[in-house]
Amino acid sequence: MKIIVTGGAGFLGSRLIRALLARGASIPGLPAFDAIVSVDLAPCPVQDARVSSVVGDIADPALLARVVTADTAAIYHLAAVVSGQAEAEFEVGMRVNLDGTRALLDAARATGAAPRFVFASSLAVFGGPMPAVVPEDLALLPQSSYGAQKAIGELLVNDYARKGFVDGRVCRLPTIVVRPGKPNAAASSFASGIIREPLGGQPANCPVPQETRMWLSSPNAVIDNLLHAIAVDGARLEGRRTLNLPGISVTVADMLASLERVGGAAARALVSHEHEERIARIVCSWPGDFDVSRPLALGFTRDGDFDSVVRQYRDEFAG
């Protein structure tokens, strides 16, 4: 049996694959597997005999028909065009984020095996007037093409699960901070940049007001929750298959205060504040705090505070 990870060549996907290899056998409820297949536009960087790479377009039904077969125990669907690119390149975002999701669901349906299916969604599905703390059942009103594509994907996963084609779970991921490497086209990319670059001695710009509240999670906490999402008994979800994954609610000012406590005043001084309306318009439409009592009761977890998130990146990547 195998587990498929779309987006397996990326930071989060490759980290998830490593965690599955290292910890999968010890997690109660996680489907048994002896192979992992990464589907992405580049080969998976994980070097392990149990991991294979399929390089190609996630929106190609013929490719998916070859990959998603009756021996598929579970699928993690992480592949996506990120928020900034989806807004700037509408057709690309629709093809990958919407058409690709449906093609993958159809490939899973064709197996007749109803594999577990974890869809990585986003808090960008929300927008418009919102309470200070967003409940799990708030109506969706995305303010970006990316958010709209993710919202449609959520509905598809829930309906395919209702029909018994997949055992679906929708995980709305917090903004993941701190991501290593170079900035990407995501509107939220600055949230990592204002920590990552200063800790490396490089300048960074914060394009949104410091009072902007964000819903954040460390990479380690997100991986723990994705592992739990595939392992939790679908019956415990009681038909409510969409989950706001736990995060922590902090303002940008809080983030910069943590940067100074962990990295020093010199690191904090490297952050400038030049407003960028394109970024602010997207990010400031996202909610900054959630009621996650149900996911926590189901065994999902979150970081203790943002200082620990900054230290996690410093200790693993910044040295």
* All residues at 6 or more sequence positions from 183 whose CB lies less than 8 Å from its CB, including other chains: 189, 190, 192, 193
Q: How far apart are the first and last CA of the chain?
A: 38
- Length of the chain measured in residues: 319
List Cα–Cα distances, 125 to 138, 142, 152, in angstroms: 10, 5, 9
Q: Is 12 left (phi over 0), alpha (psi -120 to 50) or beta?
A: alpha
Identify the residue whose tokens are 């996506």. 80
State the burial class of residue 247 (Cβ atoms within 10 Å of its Cβ: 0-12, 13-18, 19+).
Answer: buried
Active-site residue identified among 76, 146, 160, 313: 146
| Angle formed by the axes of helices 11-23 and 219-231, nearest 10° | 60
Q: What does the alpha-carbon distance between residue 107 and residue 49 come to, in Å, rounded to a whole number?
A: 25
- With residue 40 as reference, give the H or E element that holds it: strand 35-40
Q: Are strands 116-122 and 167-173 parallel, antiparallel or unpaired?
A: parallel
Spatial contact of 205 and 190, defined as CB atoms under 8 Å apart: yes
313 in active site: no
Q: What does the alpha-carbon distance between residue 319 and residue 308 come to, in Å, rounded to a whole number?
A: 15
The single-letter DSSP state of residue 290 is B
Active site residues: 146
